């Protein structure tokens, strides 16, 4: 059996869905998913299924023959105008003959002979191109007095009778020019995640808005709008640690001394060139970067790795997540469409460039640190690190990097200083929660994982405190922090870097 999927654009008539289903059945097709919600779009239906070899193409041909198959995503125009009709029988009928003749879709009509403006008909239309608009207006001008109120060729003013076309046009603005075939697959995925979340009583419009807002926010925080909150920690032996909090997504860390420079996580790929400029501003020479240590496979932690010359060190589970394009891989959520589709969307929006030069960590435990296995050790910038394997609560293959003698713990997303978030970062972070219901692939395991790491951090911090030092928690998101009881508190000073010199520096 061959899998198939297609988008149907059908008349809002009784029996239209039945006719489409009959075509699929006639070729031995089995529908596995269908989504139609007239609250969103009264004409668009999404189908997925399986059929014998050769049948999917036959189904497409028959759907195309009856005019149901949507094969492209044209940029529709929106036109609104007043037209003044004579007070004679049949004038509305005659007017509609003109619109039908050029094949436009009427979105809105307002006409009342007893109203404030008798004889005035207000019309809103959707049109396929400028030529159709010109032809219609030239035709109407020969018969009626017209007042053009609005003409929009961007699709932003389209009404909800063409919701998915409007949504596709907004996606195109985010990702740039894309073939219609690619964009229609993206529509299928976006619809699928909306269908799943609607079944969980979420408003589908919130879902579609969250998808668009995710892409827009990333794009709007590049180039001259890029900024980061920066901490610098200096050590007695001359080593330095930088924390760069990105506008969106995870924090990026650079640890260096006079002999070596390493990075922990890379941020989104879309920020790579801004990150390079920022590192140069702080005197960090990436040509000397020897390794990139990846905590886990989410796009905001490894999505720029391929754009650096240095090799990336990561868990084999992270490699599998990248290969499968599914952050829920090898978890209890693996079969959920939410993790799979979100991975596709965030990878696309963030210009995902995962590691290509890799050094794969071993997985056989050397010993235990509480509940967490120590699977490897390495030296970096004069510090001895242990690699701790997570329990897989946030993501399969997530690891932590611990330098116990030097008081450094890179926690991945198991520990996050939410209190250090700006409102903008908090809002962006909430979008992932909306689209997946949770950023953790196993919430119960994530709680155990966090407790195990917190207990370990408290133990090491207490040991260092006897020497007048503290354990610095390098969180997956937010500021470098210390553990104060059960709370994470930002450590030291934080300054604002902005890519536009007019905004820099700010404290």
Domains of the chain and CATH, by start? 2-65 (3.30.70.260), 77-152 (3.30.70.260), 170-220 (no CATH), 223-503 (3.60.15.10)
First to last CA, the chain: 61
- Calpha distance 188→335 (Å, rounded): 17
List 79's β-bridge partners, or say none. 125, 151
> How far is residue 58 from each of residues 24, 28, 55, 62, 67, measured CA to CA in Å?
9, 10, 5, 6, 14
- Calpha distance 389→461 (Å, rounded): 20
- Calpha distance 76→155 (Å, rounded): 6
- The pair of structure tokens assigned to 252 is 């990026």
> How far is residue 467 from each of residues 34, 369, 407, measured CA to CA in Å?
64, 21, 11
- pLDDT value, residue 156: 61
- pLDDT value, residue 507: 37
- pLDDT value, residue 112: 85
| CB count in 10 Å sphere of residue 169 | 19
Strands 312-314 vs 383-389: parallel, antiparallel or unpaired: unpaired
pLDDT tens string, the chain, 507 residues long: the values are: 899 999 998 887 889 999 999 999 999 999 999 999 988 888 899 999 999 999 999 999 999 999 899 887 766 778 889 999 988 888 889 999 998 888 787 888 988 877 888 889 999 888 777 788 888 888 999 999 999 888 877 656 555 556 887 788 889 889 987 778 888 899 999 999 999 999 999 999 999 999 999 999 999 999 999 999 999 999 999 999 999 999 999 999 999 999 999 999 999 999 999 999 999 999 999 889 999 999 999 999 999 999 999 999 999 999 999 999 999 999 999 999 999 999 999 999 999 999 999 999 999 999 999 999 999 999 999 999 999 999 999 999 999 999 999 999 999 999 999 999 999 999 999 999 999 999 999 999 999 999 999 999 999 999 999 899 999 999 999 999 999 999 999 999 999 999 987 654 443
- pLDDT value, residue 334: 95
- The pair of structure tokens assigned to 233 is 């920690």
- Predicted model pTM: 0.85
Torsion sign, CA atoms 350, 356, 358, 364: positive
- pLDDT value, residue 290: 97
Buried b (16+ CB within 10 A) or exposed e, 34-49: bbbbeebbebbbbbbb
Backbone angles phi, psi at 362, to 5 degrees: -70, 165
- Calpha distance 263→293 (Å, rounded): 6
């Amino acid at each position: 059996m061959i899998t198939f999927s297609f988008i149907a654009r059908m008349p809002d008539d009784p029996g239209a869905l039945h006719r489409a289903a009959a075509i699929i059945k006639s070729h031995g097709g089995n529908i596995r998913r269908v989504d139609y919600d007239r609250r969103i779009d009264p004409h668009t239906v999404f189908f997925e299924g399986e059929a014998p070899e050769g049948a999917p193409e036959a189904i497409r041909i028959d759907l195309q023959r009856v005019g149901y198959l949507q094969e492209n995503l044209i940029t529709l125009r929106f036109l609104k105008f007043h037209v003044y009709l004579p007070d004679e029988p049949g004038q509305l009928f005659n007017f509609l003959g003109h619109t039908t003749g050029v094949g436009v879709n009427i979105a809105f009509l307002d006409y009342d002979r007893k109203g404030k403006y008798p004889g005035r008909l207000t019309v809103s239309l959707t049109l396929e191109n400028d030529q159709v608009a010109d032809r219609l207006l030239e035709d109407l001008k020969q018969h009626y007095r017209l007042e053009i109120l609005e003409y929009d060729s961007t699709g932003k003013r389209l009404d909800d009778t063409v919701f998915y076309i409007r949504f596709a046009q907004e996606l195109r603005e985010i990702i740039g020019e894309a073939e219609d075939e690619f964009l229609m697959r993206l529509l299928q995925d976006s619809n699928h995640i909306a269908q799943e979340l609607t079944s969980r009583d979420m408003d589908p419009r919130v879902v579609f808005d969250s998808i668009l807002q995710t892409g827009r926010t990333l794009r709007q925080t590049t180039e001259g709008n890029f900024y980061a909150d920066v901490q610098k920690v200096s050590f007695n032996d001359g080593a330095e640690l930088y924390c760069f909090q990105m506008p969106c997504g995870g924090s990026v860390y650079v640890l260096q001394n006079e002999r070596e420079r390493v990075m922990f996580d890379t941020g989104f790929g879309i920020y790579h060139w801004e990150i390079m400029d920022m590192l140069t501003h702080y005197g960090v020479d990436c040509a000397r970067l020897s390794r990139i240590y990846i905590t886990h496979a989410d796009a905001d932690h490894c999505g720029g790795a391929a754009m650096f010359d240095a090799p990336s060190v990561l868990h084999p589970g992270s490699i599998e997540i990248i290969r499968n394009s599914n952050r829920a891989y090898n978890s209890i959520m693996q079969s959920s469409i939410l993790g799979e589709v979100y991975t596709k969307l965030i990878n696309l929006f963030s210009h995902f460039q995962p590691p290509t030069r890799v050094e794969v960590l071993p997985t056989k435990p050397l010993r235990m640190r509480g509940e967490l296995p120590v699977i490897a050790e390495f030296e970096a910038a004069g510090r001895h690190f242990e690699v701790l394997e997570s329990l897989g609560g946030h993501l399969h293959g997530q690891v932590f990097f611990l330098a116990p003698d030097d008081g450094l713990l890179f926690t991945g997303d198991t520990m996050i200083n939410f209190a250090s978030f700006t409102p903008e970062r908090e809002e962006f972070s909430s979008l992932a929660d909306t689209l997946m219901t949770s950023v953790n692939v196993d919430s119960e395991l994530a709680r155990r994982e966090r407790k195990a790491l917190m207990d370990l951090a408290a133990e090491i911090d207490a040991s260092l405190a006897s020497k007048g030092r503290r354990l610095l928690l390098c969180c997956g998101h937010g500021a470098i922090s210390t553990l104060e009881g059960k709370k994470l508190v930002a450590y030291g000073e934080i300054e604002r870097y902005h890519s536009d010199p007019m905004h820099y520096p700010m404290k």
